[in-house]
A = this chain, B = another copy of it.
Amino acid sequence: MTENPLEIVAELILLLALILIAAKIGGEIFERYLHVPAVLGELFSGIIISPFALGGIRFFDRFGPLFHIPTELEVHGGILETVESTLPVEPQIFFVAQLAAVILLFEAGLETNRAQFLRWIRPASGVALGGVVVPFLLGFFGTIMFGFASLDSINDAVPALFVGAIMTATSVGITARVLADIRRLDSPEGVTVLAAAVIDDVLGIIILAVVVGIADEGTITASSILVIFAKAVGFWLGLTIIGSLLANRISRVVLWFKGAGAHIGIAIGLAFLAAGVAEIGFGLAMIIGSYSLGLALSATDLKHEIEGPMRQVNNFLMPMFFGVIGMQADFSAFGGDESEATLLTAIGFAVVLSLFGIVSKLGGAGLPALFVGFNRTGAWRVAVGMLPRGEVALIVAGIGLTSGVIGRDVFGVAIVMTIVTTVMAPVLLVPAFRGGSGLREDDEPEESESEPLAAEPEPTLPSGED
């Protein structure tokens, strides 16, 4: 490794080029030929080029492996040691990926329709609650069942809490993308799924904060949970309420700027600020900060100015984030230096956790839907719409991995669960939305084909292009 900072930058920019191009190729292949969301292909590309797979192989004598797990200099007992970093990529590339995550969740918040969100929030909250509690419990007990955690002590139980937290996520982005593709974003089921996904995110994020707090403190008391809970809810509610109250003022201040591209620059700057404050000031994940700010700004004039440009920025940043996330999955950790039994256990855990991931969301979100106005058709649509874990689960899993709470093996299992549930959603959603109304209406026979929604064109899945 050379000392010239520009040569280091050049080496890293080459790696970033490979991550970006590989992710785009993977995304294109998955979307065009496998008809699943591009994000999955980006993820797979990352897994393939990771230092644990192809990227770690030395193809030619002259060149080292494409990626190597970075090392850090540390002083232990007065002796300088080279230790393996907890990150599979250099800090510079990790930083770029994190910027991408913050901007992605800012956009997700921004694209939420706050008016409809507020109208459907009451029925949606039942769906969301069931869709969080059941997956959390199944994830928690599944992890203990397979011996990756135990109830012996708080510390032993922490990985199970983390897997539970990963299981609760619902991806706003993927659900919305699929519903937009089949033109059902504004159907009762569509709005309910989106509102529930948002509440889900918030609940999931609170769970995440509680779990991280427990992991940090290593002890669990009712009062400490209460403090963490109050802090998480308080920060989120505070930022959302203050943000919403000030949203139009913020919007006007930003729109005062007239320079080319000033709006998106300032908006992203504010998202960075909210992200940094969430982590430094409140110990919450950075994405909570940028997501909450986006939600607060989602009903302002500023939103209309920046949502187009934001999409372009994300088109370029997102693949790097998902590529880097994929690179963190170490399936070889399944084997490890342990016995063959460990590998089988991990594979079994992956299969069972994926099943749990599907069943828990279908049941947890679908059953409550039956009690808030949907018939069985509608409840099934809502339940399927809640399936994809997408980027939110990946981010939560990444936090668990980089903070050392879960190992690369459990992380790999979580990635498998994420991939399985996310692949199933578009596959099931398109047929689920064929046919009649999903509303339980007492003045209309349940099997009626004549209600307004049925007049819409038969949904089909177009081939990409936003």
Contact = CB atoms under 8 A, between A and B. Distances in A.
A308 B311 CA distance: 12
Contacts of A4: 402-403
Contact of A91 (B38, B91, B464): B91
Contact of A261 (B73, B259, B276, B466): B466
A268 interface: yes
A361 interface: no
A75 interface: yes
Q: How many copies are assembled?
A: 2
A164 interface: no
Interface string A398-432: 01001100000000000000000000000000000
A80 interface: yes
Given A17-B269, A260-B311, 11 more contacts: A5-B86, A5-B91, A6-B402, A9-B94, A10-B276, A12-B95, A259-B465, A260-B464, A261-B311, A261-B318, A313-B313
Nearest to A268: B316
Size bracket of the A interface: 35 or more
A265 to B, nearest CB: 5
B262 A27 contact: yes
B259 A464 contact: yes
B312 A95 contact: no
A32 B259 contact: yes
Contacts of A258: 28, 31-32, 463-465
Contacts of A268: 20, 316
Interface stretch (A96-104, A131-139, A233-241): A96-104
A24 B266 contact: yes
A60 B123 CA distance: 48
A23 B265 CA distance: 9
Given A9-B286, A286-B6, A259 B309 contact: no
B272 A17 contact: yes
A98 B13 CA distance: 9
A345 interface: no
28 contacts: A4-B403, A5-B94, A5-B402, A6-B98, A6-B285, A8-B91, A9-B286, A10-B278, A11-B276, A14-B272, A18-B273, A20-B265, A20-B266, A23-B265, A24-B259, A27-B262, A28-B262, A32-B259, A38-B259, A38-B260, A92-B92, A96-B96, A260-B465, A262-B315, A264-B312, A265-B315, A313-B313, A313-B316
